[in-house]
A and B are shown apart, each in its own frame.
Chain A
């Protein structure tokens, strides 16, 4: 089963709201990723978790706060977002952080900040 699930599918939030995105995989993968994809653009890496530890932060603003409660779950906590943060947020996982492993993506959460 090569499935990564993400909830919610769609999210509309105001600039003062606090919300969270959730990602789950049950493939035993030890690396998990958050990507941000603006309309008509390719995905851009935000964070990498390896063995439940934050390993890479691609200079993401602190209003985005990732969390990895266990090896299957990855959250992205959102607070005080800006309208320009509206995008598709994709979660991905891979067996390890290295090697020729493809990344398996979830369906994404379409976020609109009003």
Chain B
């Protein structure tokens, strides 16, 4: 079975500092994908970054980078130079395969990030 674990219910960071949000995963599939989504209080799930299991390099998207350590089964999100607008819930997710080859996203419990001025 596939599982995503986020062990940090809440995190605080000072504006302009970097922060790391932890994510570990469990799967027996050799091919898998990992995602990070941001959910502000408005409710929308905003896609941030994707890492494929065969990707040689860690994914980066602007201020977001994914610290992918395959042997440790971890896919931590690093946000550099935090901004007040980064305050939100962050979900790590894995692509799960349903019958017929359909995809579903399996989410972790989420980490609530608060950025302080």
Binding site for B on A (CB under 8 A): 31, 33, 41-43, 45, 48, 50, 55-56, 58, 88, 90, 92, 94, 97-108, 110
Contacts and interface: CB of A to CB of B under 8 A. Distances in A.
A88 B105 contact: no
Interface of B: 33, 35, 37, 42-47, 50, 52, 91, 95, 98-105, 107-110
A54 B33 CA distance: 24
Nearest to B96: A45
Contacts, number: 64
Contacts of B47: 102-105
28 contacts: A33-B104, A41-B109, A42-B91, A42-B107, A42-B108, A42-B110, A45-B105, A48-B98, A48-B102, A55-B100, A56-B100, A56-B102, A88-B43, A92-B45, A97-B103, A98-B103, A100-B33, A100-B52, A101-B103, A102-B47, A102-B50, A103-B103, A105-B44, A106-B44, A107-B42, A107-B43, A107-B44, A108-B44
